[in-house]
Amino acid sequence: QKEVEQDPGPLSVPEGAIVSLNCTYSNSAFQYFMWYRQYSRKGPELLMYTYSSGNKEDGRFTAQVDKSSKYISLFIRDSQPSDSATYLCAMKPSGGSYIPTFGRGTSLIVHP
C-alpha cells in the first residue's frame, strides 16, 4: 500500500459544479497537507496548505483535513473550464525530513 492514495480519475464535471477531490494516507505522523494544481506541460503550483486537522478556505477552494480518518479533501465551488488540470495532494510530518510525499494526482475536466 502506498503511503498516499489518490484516485487518478479522470473526473469529468459540468461547469458550475462543486468538485470534491480526495486523498487517503497511512502515515499518522503527517501534519502538513498541501494541494497542488498542475496544468498540462507545466510544473505543479501550490494551491492550499493546511496544518493538522480542520478547514481552510481561499476563494472558491476549501481544503479539509480529517486526521482521525487519515483523509483530506479539496473542494472547488463554481468550477470553471480553467480549473481543468491535475490536482496533486502532498503531505509531510513535522520535524525531520522536509520532503513531502505526493499522491499520484487526479485529472479534472470541467466541460462548458
Partner 1 sequence: KAGVTQTPRYLIKTRGQQVTLSCSPISGHRSVSWYQQTPGQGLQFLFEYFSETQRNKGNFPGRFSGRQFSNSRSEMNVSTLELGDSALYLCASSSERGTDTQYFGPGTRLTVL
- Work out whether 97 is an interface residue with partner 1 (CB under 8 A): yes
Which of 16-47 are b and which e, b meaning 16 or more Cβ less than 10 Å from the residue's Cβ?
Answer: eeebebbbbbeeeebbbbbbbbeeeeeebeeb
Does residue 103 belong to the site contacting partner 1 (CB under 8 A)?
yes
* Sole window of 12-20, 23-31, 73-81, 103-111 interacting with partner 1 (rule: CB under 8 A): 103-111
Question: Does the protein bind partner 1 through residue 99 (CB under 8 A)?
Answer: yes
Three-class SS state of 3: coil
Stretch that binds partner 1, among 12-20, 29-37, 61-69, 75-83 (CB under 8 A): 29-37
- Residues in a beta bridge with 106: 87
- Using CB under 8 A as the criterion, which residues of the chain lie in contact with partner 1 when the complex forms? 32, 34, 36, 41-46, 49, 88, 90, 97-100, 102-105
